[in-house]
Structure 1
């Protein structure tokens, strides 16, 4: 799931990204202790606990516990929210694993993924009109947000179907415009994520021929925070973990309180309770902090991020880089991928572990 501010705008961002990275010293820059922070979010089923937590007072509760104030801010365009985080407007943002790598990390912004929230288990899909299998996509114009996880899903689908990337021609389309674009009779192939996916799939004659459920665990949804800010303000990480796991526990309850929480999240996302519950069914939520810690420390995460970075490099998302190793990643247990001297994406399980151990 993802959106773009336009191919040229994104390309321009990446063009300067590696320049920033190449000029930055290794390690996170210095940051000061603070009392107020902002977290950006955009609409997606797996991220709706954040605005609901603010609405329900859960954000304030955990902020008060640690003597800080956290502002949870909606941005209507997903990639714009990540761009704003990269530019320093937000201290953290909701983002997929691929976009965390290709936008802030590739741009030299040292970023820590502190909550592994879920993976898409059918929330992203490839749709065709007049076709029953992915093989039928050959030769078609395919509408999607280019250079996003939708593009990654398409590439993985083509690979599994024995097709080449050149067998389709992609048409870059904003996530806000995909539903209307796909309504045109001459547009017969598209890749997107929920809630747009559900709307488009319901059109007459449309078949979903591939989804993220076919590559489980590869499209991961995260909360990331600026590493320097986190280092100077560890209570921010503790508060965010507390907010997340209290809210997720509430939304998973099957009583009236849980139902009311999910209905409120549905309303915040512009959806109905029924549609939102349907989207949750295709979201593999790590509801328990221990499950999230296990996911963050599993060797499978390194395998997934290897696939993601290799795809990203092949698409030119590490502008100016000689290899996919240009952007370093660090994982729990001391494992690194890429350049260990220029690590700018870190999977930090420590706050999830505090939640799992009941030590927040």
Structure 2
């Protein structure tokens, strides 16, 4: 530019150049890495994979990482290999006590029969397990289910022999006669029943006590708002599809779970999947209902020594992303 160019023109040119550089930098700024969400093999997590298949879960924002067992999901979170996960409420408490800052952004399901203790043919009640071996996966939830099943049957932990086995290892051990029972859930419960097992206890006996959530690390939640919104949008897109097309949805999800659509639908009957409005009532407002039911669960866990210290439940609930989620058109 000539030295004879008027000062105002030079200033405008400089500002325009700076603006173009800023726009270029914005265009070339790298996309933040996808939000990594860990799951285990569990029918309650399947709507996430259905959302991925349907295209309602943006892969640029959310990556699903499946592990063989819930204990491996927790290990991955502790090692910061994932940003969030599908976990149960009792597991949320355990992570919080250890200072790992999980925040619940969504209730994915409430168990009403989906979690169970399955024993051998001929057994009728939990009391038939006295002195027998029972397979239990590592982690808080299976221990909690066993603790409640024993307590409601007038039994104690010492009345059974606990064998630590991952959930995916239990059906084979049961068929080989290595264990007499298992604390289980679908799809593994179905496999145990097909092998001649009998349900001795299930979560219909403890309504509202087993709740599964999507929890995300607090630091990630504060920084990755668009990714969290994409996660919630994908979830509710899949849930809406499940309600409109239950047979097709069950067929798609059953393929991943290696079950038929009919078996998948039967397993789903043991779960309640809360709506957006139910989620808001459970997680938000002045008196979130999940905090009320969670306090009872926390007391039970403390009494059974499954939790080493109490937690402030309300501080673990993060309804903000859900309240900001655009409502679908009527």
Q: Shared fold by TM > 0.5?
A: yes
Structure 2 matches for 1:95-244, cutoff 5 A?
Answer: 95-102=87-94, 104-129=95-120, 130-185=122-177, 187-204=179-196, 206-244=197-235
Corresponding position of 1:48: 46
Give the alignment's TM-score, normalised by structure 2.
Answer: 0.81
Corresponding position of 1:279: 267
Deviations 1:266-312 (A, max 9, x none): 112222211111111111111x2001222335665334433443454
Instruction: Tell me whether 1:268 sits opposite 2:238 in the alignment.
Output: no
Q: Distance in 1 between matches of 2:244 and 2:173?
A: 38
Residue segments in structure 1 that go unaligned for 5+ positions in a row: 1-32, 337-345
Corresponding position of 1:301: 290
- Preserved contact between residue 289 and residue 353 of structure 1 (Cα < 8 Å): no
Indicate the SS of the match to 2:324: helix
User: Relative to structure 1, is the Cα distance of residues 171 and 235 closer, same or farther in structure 2, using a 3 angstrom cutoff?
Assistant: same
Q: Distance in 2 between matches of 1:350 and 1:217?
A: 23
User: Relative to structure 1, is the Cα distance of residues 161 and 225 closer, same or farther in structure 2, using a 3 angstrom cutoff?
Assistant: same
User: Relative to structure 1, is the Cα distance of residues 356 and 329 closer, same or farther in structure 2, using a 3 angstrom cutoff?
Assistant: farther
User: Relative to structure 1, is the Cα distance of residues 212 and 259 closer, same or farther in structure 2, using a 3 angstrom cutoff?
Assistant: same
CA deviation after TM superposition for structure 1 residue 145, in Å: 1.3
Q: Distance in 1 between matches of 2:319 and 2:238?
A: 19
Give the alignment's TM-score, normalised by structure 1.
Answer: 0.75
Instruction: Tell me whether 1:249 sits opposite 2:240 in the alignment.
Output: yes
Instruction: Tell me whether 1:347 sits opposite 2:330 in the alignment.
Output: no
Q: Distance in 1 between matches of 2:92 and 2:153?
A: 28
CA deviation after TM superposition for structure 1 residue 161, in Å: 1.6
Indicate the SS of the match to 1:224: strand
Indicate the SS of the match to 1:177: helix
Deviations 1:188-234 (A, max 9, x none): 22211111111112333x32121011111111111111111111222
Corresponding position of 1:16: none
Corresponding position of 1:290: 277
Q: Distance in 2 between matches of 1:187 and 1:35?
A: 43
**Counterpart pick for 1:38 among 11, 36, 39:** 36
- State the number of aligned residues: 296
Deviations 1:124-165 (A, max 9, x none): 111222221222222222221144312211111222122222
- Preserved contact between residue 47 and residue 238 of structure 2 (Cα < 8 Å): yes
CA deviation after TM superposition for structure 1 residue 101, in Å: 2.2
Indicate the SS of the match to 2:44: helix
Q: CA RMSD in A?
A: 2.5
Q: Distance in 1 between matches of 2:44 and 2:325?
A: 19
- Preserved contact between residue 142 and residue 188 of structure 1 (Cα < 8 Å): yes
Deviates more, 1:297-306 or 1:213-222: 297-306
User: Relative to structure 1, is the Cα distance of residues 317 and 210 closer, same or farther in structure 2, using a 3 angstrom cutoff?
Assistant: closer
Corresponding position of 2:6: none
Residue segments in structure 2 that go unaligned for 5+ positions in a row: 1-30
- Preserved contact between residue 70 and residue 139 of structure 2 (Cα < 8 Å): no
Q: Distance in 1 between matches of 2:292 and 2:174?
A: 34
- Preserved contact between residue 89 and residue 212 of structure 2 (Cα < 8 Å): yes
